[in-house]
């Protein structure tokens, strides 16, 4: 049988959603600069969906798009737009206008525009029962740029994880090696999941949407064996040794 030249399938990806709460160009520019300086390597070339549900009176979408791109983000599309004229401007700029499924689970990063505006990974809990699949085991190094997702399963990596790599699992994540990339457990909203690692240098760790960037991880645990989990909805870290 001849192999098909193309296939179109559904898939799952971890994407950032950039929520804009103000259409002031200077304010957006300043806030994006401050946010990207927190963790330059994490946000560099990061794909994002831009949500504009609160700023549908934008006079010049192209200016906002260019500012976002200038800070290293790769804009994949725009959501939350209910203004027909603005939709046309967005489509003319080469981007799709996306419809959101209110019942779907998704990760997002809010960037607010005022004092002490901090990015927050929010979550919607998925209460449906899912079939648990076999544990996903990786025994080779995870290189920069690689992304591994263990759907409905735990993820075990028996090797090192390079900076710029990403591990995502609906279950727990175990890393028996040095981890310098991003680690996101409980991606389906399960707050009981944990991260276990033997050499913690991660760029980002997340449990069910709650996260720390590298500079938020308590310094006494850097390079050490640790477990990370949620306690009373707050990230908690303990030594494994």
Question: Is 1 inside a domain boundary?
Answer: no
* Residues 201 and 157 grouped into a single domain: yes
Share of the chain above pLDDT 90, in %: 44
Question: Is 158 inside a domain boundary?
Answer: yes
Residue 26 parent element (H or E): helix 25-38
Q: Which of 144-148, 160-164, 172-176 has the lowest mean pLDDT?
A: 144-148
CA distance 132 to 152: 5
Q: What is the pLDDT of residues 29-56, one digit of tens each?
A: 999 998 888 766 667 778 889 999 888 6
The dihedral sign for the CA sequence 139, 142, 146, 150: positive
Q: Please, what's the b/e burial string for 109-139 (b: 16 or more CB within 10 A of its CB; e: otherwise)?
A: bbbbbeeeeebebebeeeeeeeeeeeebebe
130 vs 125, residue with greater confidence = 130
* Residues 186 and 115 grouped into a single domain: no
* Residues 193 and 166 grouped into a single domain: yes
Pairing label, strands 155-157, 136-138:
parallel
**Residue 13 confidence (pLDDT) above 70:** no
Please identify, among 98, 122, 146, the residue that sits at the C-terminal boundary of a domain: 122
**Residue 144 confidence (pLDDT) above 70:** yes
Please identify, among 122, 153, 182, the residue that sits at the C-terminal boundary of a domain: 122
CA distance 140 to 162: 11
Question: Is 5 inside a domain boundary?
Answer: no
- Structural domain of residue 162, as residue ranges? 136-239
CATH number at residue 76: 3.30.70.260
Contact yes or no for 72/36 (Cβ under 8 A): yes
State the pLDDT at residue 75.
Answer: 92
* Residues 107 and 155 grouped into a single domain: no
Tell whether pTM > 0.75.
no
State the pLDDT at residue 45.
Answer: 79
Residues for the chain: how many in total? 241
Q: What is the pLDDT of residues 108-117, one digit of tens each?
A: 333 333 222 2
């Amino acid at each position: 049988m001849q192999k098909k030249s193309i296939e179109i399938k559904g898939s799952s990806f971890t994407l950032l959603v950039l929520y804009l709460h103000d259409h002031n160009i200077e304010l957006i520019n300043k806030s994006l600069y401050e946010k990207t300086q927190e963790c330059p390597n994490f946000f560099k070339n990061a794909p994002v969906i831009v949500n504009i549900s609160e700023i549908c009176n934008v006079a010049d979408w192209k200016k906002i798009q260019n500012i976002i791109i200038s800070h290293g983000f790769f804009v994949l599309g725009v959501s939350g737009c209910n203004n027909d004229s603005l939709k046309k401007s967005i489509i003319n700029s080469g981007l799709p206008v996306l419809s959101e499924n209110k019942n779907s689970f998704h990760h997002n990063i809010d960037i607010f525009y005022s004092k002490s505006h901090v990015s927050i990974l929010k979550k919607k809990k998925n209460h449906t029962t899912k079939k648990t699949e076999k544990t996903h085991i990786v025994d080779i190094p995870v290189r920069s740029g690689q992304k591994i997702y263990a759907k409905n399963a735990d993820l075990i990596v028996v090797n090192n994880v390079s900076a710029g790599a990403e591990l995502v699992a609906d279950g727990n994540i175990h890393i028996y090696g040095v981890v310098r990339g991003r680690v996101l457990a409980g991606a389906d909203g399960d707050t009981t999941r944990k991260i276990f690692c033997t050499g913690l240098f991660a760029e980002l760790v997340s449990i069910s949407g709650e996260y720390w960037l590298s500079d938020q991880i308590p310094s006494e645990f850097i390079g050490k064996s640790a477990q990370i989990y949620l306690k009373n909805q707050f990230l908690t870290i303990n030594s494994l040794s």
